[in-house]
Amino acid sequence: MNRYVFYPVVLCMLANTILFVPTLLIGQRNDGAFASIGFSIILGYGFARLFATSLAKFPGQGLPEIFEQLLPGWVGKSFLLYLAVMWFMAGGIVLVTYSRIIQRFVNPDFNLHLLILFLAVVSSIAASGDSRSVMYLCEVLLFLNVPLIGLILFKALSNKYMDWDAVWSLTDYVFAPPSWQALSASSYVFTGYVNWSILNRSFPIGRKPGFIWAIPILGTGVLLTTFLIPVGLHGTVAVDHYIYIWISTADSLRMEFGFVERVLFVFLLLYLSVCLLFITLTWHIGMELTKGLLPRTIENALNNRLPWDKWAIFGTVTAGFMLLSRYFNEKQFIELTSFWLEIRLPSELLLVSLLWWLGRKVSA
């Protein structure tokens, strides 16, 4: 079970590197993106290490149980509600974004709202299970997808049209001071560890979390490849003209001897499962946090009934994001995502600090 600690982190890295994180970093490529990536590696590793150490003092417990024991009722419930909204936002942003990608690059005649509804139903079915089922699903899909995603990255790096001079020219801005937008975007790659706040219920008691040392190594590789490869293939100026930069980058690659020559279709299929898995995980965590708002007797009663309460939660969230997709175009949605990322970073700091303080309180 120790390996399951690492899967949410890898999933977060994979899911968000093709969406808005590269777009936001490329937009700040001359204004502190490199420095922001450097700081985000330090912050991501430090937060993950501190969070894991603090959570180890509460074996077999999730955030609802921890807050119920150690915080005043209204404080714990308010913070759980806020965290649940943040988790649902994380999955909903991926849901709307990938639905728009499918509509734009597969078939423009697709109805966007029906596509969002379909993906939301699939994710909700998977998210309504228990935490162990979600972790097993993560393991299976990651083992199937990661090798093929690695192959695509290798094809991009070894492409004869990869302009390393364009990549090298960005080193002129290595010492530019970091920007808050770029720091918020790059640090999100490391945020998968916060899912341990519910998955800790299923982790083996008495065993320390493993692989923490690998988080900054893998995160550094993911950030640099997803940031620099589009620059090398599109140039330092043209790279800023795309909304979904990694989809356009994949479409510029081809496999001469593959069953499907255009890498784009393979890439979209791979990331369909990755994005659905990410939505499943984040909505599962959000659902468990929402259930933690209820009194223990009511929560136990609902767990023994048909999951209508879960479908009510998922249905409300899906309807909310369908409305957002109706009134926000793609560029406005990027601005909304950037604003959410900028709120997420201090929220993450608050969560880690609070859990560290509660851990010390228990140890004292």
Domain of 299, CATH number, reads 1.20.1740.10
**Total number of domains in the chain:** 1
On the CB side of 109, how many CA atoms lie within 13 Å of its CA? 0
Distances in Å between the Cα of 238 and the Cα atoms of 27, 97, 230, 234, 338 are 11, 22, 10, 6, 21
Answer for the pair 298, 64: CB distance below 8 angstroms, yes or no: no
pLDDT tens-digit profile, the chain (364 residues):
577 888 999 999 988 777 788 888 888 888 888 999 999 999 999 999 999 999 988 888 889 999 988 888 888 899 999 999 999 999 999 999 999 999 988 888 889 999 999 999 999 999 988 888 999 999 999 999 999 888 888 888 888 888 899 899 888 888 889 999 999 999 999 999 999 999 988 887 656 666 788 889 999 999 989 889 999 999 888 888 888 888 888 888 887 766 667 888 888 889 999 999 999 999 999 999 998 887 665 555 555 554 667 788 899 999 999 999 998 888 888 889 989 999 999 999 999 999 999 988 887 6
Helix axes 20-27, 330-363, angle to 10 degrees: 100
Spell out the residues 6+ positions from residue 148 whose beta carbon is closer than 8 angstroms to its own: 266, 270
Instruction: State the residue range of the domain holding 89.
Output: 2-363
Answer for the pair 52, 191: CB distance below 8 angstroms, yes or no: no
CB atoms closer than 10 angstroms to residue 356: 16
Considering only CA atoms, give the Rg of the chain: 20
Whole-prediction pTM: 0.93
CA distance linking residue 184 with residue 363, whole number of Å: 32
